[in-house]
A and B are shown apart, each in its own frame.
Chain A
């Protein structure tokens, strides 16, 4: 009798009833939150977006693309800490595909975007890549911001003879072989330009804060070597663990080294927490310099980032103006993530290369890309012998009310 209270034997009916009750509760809970959720399944929404793109194109042009579609795989973080940037990147890609299709597609073939969610992590990204290769059989994939995700994904894709165009920036990309093309500046280039700019502004002694991943390490290393070369110094270099609820200890350590400026390369929720903690600790009285400043401040409270300076990928020239205007017209807001324009340029450059090659066969398109000169939203798109972007336009920027304002455009070379 006593046993009953804890885990006593029950008859099967009661057990079945409990199981049924649990299932019911789970179903109700899922239904309840399904109603309020903004939806996180990627492929279905983008499938719809892609077909929408096609119909929009066929309505607006004389020569509607009618051939078999050219499939382009996209792997971006559509959920997770940097989901906001991923979603914007996907919108830029959809915009580019729509424009390509509005002008008759690629030799009459419409461009179809198949987007997959990487969740910003390696495993889901590889699963997405495997799906794109085996089920969708795409000839090209654009993907991932994070270098730690892009490297394995790129290796998988190029091994399976899929052309890989990436906005990520790890110097290891140079060794990935002829099917890989980097559309963005490598971290080493960005860090060097930032260090030169810091020196020019008289900020000689800097404290560096960056995530403990491929991106963070290359930025920190690049800043340190260029600062030293130019006679400055790095008083403290902190590679933080991502996903913490506060960064006070890290910031304290930097503050104790009494730098002329805090230089940070962060993004997503971590960047918001870092800015909040720094503001509360009174560290914002010292200059803050952001690498890819728009990513650093995107999710932060504007109060905590006002007056920050930094370097960012530039949206430049006539193509850049066109991109910004069309993006705003289509989505009702300006592009804010630094990689939006890279994503846009990647699609346009690819479309041009396919037209030159006359086929979507990856090796032939790679050949065409090697010699391409595409006037893009991020400046002239050309690739060096390792398939990396040869010159990139950068902007020196300032943060005002949560937005970046361009002060000056400079050019970086790989």
Chain B
């Protein structure tokens, strides 16, 4: 077993990918529309479920089913913004947040109703892992990390296209963008589509590694919030760093032997894993309210 650090690093990269895909889209929609969308996590749930439906019904390759799911969930996100969230936001942001919570519960109940909430799997063949930095990683996990990294890179590139420039304009100052003649509604739609599709991809990754289960995806909700907030809620890219940071804390808390410099063994109980994340979240909020990567001190 080669040292704890490589293990923690490799596991961090693997576990951070779905989190980053979810959190980055969460911040994108937050920046564009000012909606703290709790139902964002359901985009991941639907991503996994729709992929499974398409795959089991047509026996198409999983990646094709995943693309269909990403497009469908992107459409769902646009529909959700137009029909429900935009209306709620006109009333009040807090009402909108509670509204999205209700929406999340409804969507989850819908999936449970359809799937009977019994876990299913894609029945991929098992493969013994290969060594990466002395850590055994399965070929599937390597592939998924690469796919997630490509998706995140495409997202970053997208932000520098003309379309992305408009997104950044609306995100940083909606009134100014509106006054400059940008069609903010259309641009918001585009952003929500991208956010939905990225979350759907996260859902596919989660389903492929841990099986298709509503509960598992639900367990990503709070860490995704943590990643989004640590990365800076109004930052379009910070959530990627936020996800890596949050996951690293989580993995390090239970992966390191804190007594080894002193020749003893001091390990945190595994059950404290999630507590460690939220302790760090509180610390970050106190020290750097704008997120870990913000350069400005918060001005109210």
Contact = CB atoms under 8 A, between A and B. Distances in A.
Interface in A211-228: 212
A256 B267 CA distance: 12
Contact of A244 (B83, B117, B127, B210): B210
B15 interface: yes
A239 interface: yes
Interface residues of A, number: 52
Contact of B7 (A38, A252, A269): A252
B97 to A, nearest CB: 16
A28 interface: no
A5 B186 CA distance: 7
A303 to B, nearest CB: 5
Interface stretch (B23-31, B62-70, B212-220, B286-294): B212-220
Contacts of A2: 178-179
A83 B126 contact: no
Interface in A229-253: 238-241, 243-246, 248-250, 252-253
B271 A239 contact: yes
B146 interface: no
A6 B184 CA distance: 6
B216 A244 contact: yes
Contact of B270 (A29, A212, A304): A212
A243 B183 CA distance: 43
Interface string B107-124: 000101111111101010
Contacts of A255: 1
Contacts of B209: 245-246, 273
Nearest to B253: A249
B89 interface: yes
A18 B110 CA distance: 20
B87 interface: yes
B210 A245 contact: yes
Interface in B63-95: 83, 86-87, 89-90
B119 A299 contact: yes
A243 B215 contact: yes
Contacts of B128: 279-280, 282
B117 A80 contact: yes
B118 A30 contact: no
Interface string B205-229: 0100111010110110000000000
B136 interface: yes
A6 B213 contact: no
B127 to A, nearest CB: 7
A301 interface: yes
A7 B251 CA distance: 43
Interface in B1-32: 1, 4, 7-8, 11, 14-15, 18
A16 interface: no
A84 B254 contact: no
B215 A7 contact: no
A255 B8 CA distance: 14
A359 interface: no
A13 interface: no
A280 B216 contact: no
Nearest to A272: B211
A249 B126 contact: no
Contact of A83 (B110, B117, B138): B117
B59 to A, nearest CB: 16
Interface string B252-264: 0011010000000
Contacts of B255: 249, 252-253
A324 interface: no
Given A246-B15, A253-B270, A280-B128, A5 B114 contact: no
Greatest chain B CB density within 10 A among A36, A244, A282 is at A244
Given A5-B184, A6-B86, A245-B206, A268 B119 contact: yes
A364 interface: no
Contacts of A281: 129, 136
A30 B113 contact: yes
A83 B120 CA distance: 11
Given A7-B90, A243-B219, A282-B136, A269 B126 contact: no
A258 B117 CA distance: 37
Given A29-B110, A37-B113, A279-B126, A6 B178 contact: yes
Given A6-B185, A269-B119, A279-B128, A249 B254 contact: yes
A347 B1 CA distance: 51
B223 to A, nearest CB: 11
B274 interface: yes
A5 B185 contact: yes
B210 A273 contact: yes
A280 B211 contact: no
Interface in A270-327: 272-273, 276, 279-282, 299, 301, 303-304
A287 B213 CA distance: 29
Contacts of A37: 113-116
A280 B129 contact: yes
Interface string A1-33: 010111100000000001000100000011001
Interface of A: 2, 4-7, 18, 22, 29-30, 33-34, 36-40, 79-81, 83-84, 119, 212, 238-241, 243-246, 248-250, 252-253, 255-256, 258, 268-269, 272-273, 276, 279-282, 299, 301, 303-304
5 contacts: A2-B179, A5-B183, A79-B116, A245-B216, A248-B11
- Pick the 10 closest A-B CB pairs, nearest first: A245-B210, A5-B185, A33-B114, A269-B119, A280-B138, A40-B116, A281-B136, A7-B86, A280-B129, A79-B117
Given A5-B183, A40-B112, 8 more contacts: A29-B110, A30-B110, A81-B215, A240-B270, A245-B209, A252-B1, A252-B7, A280-B136
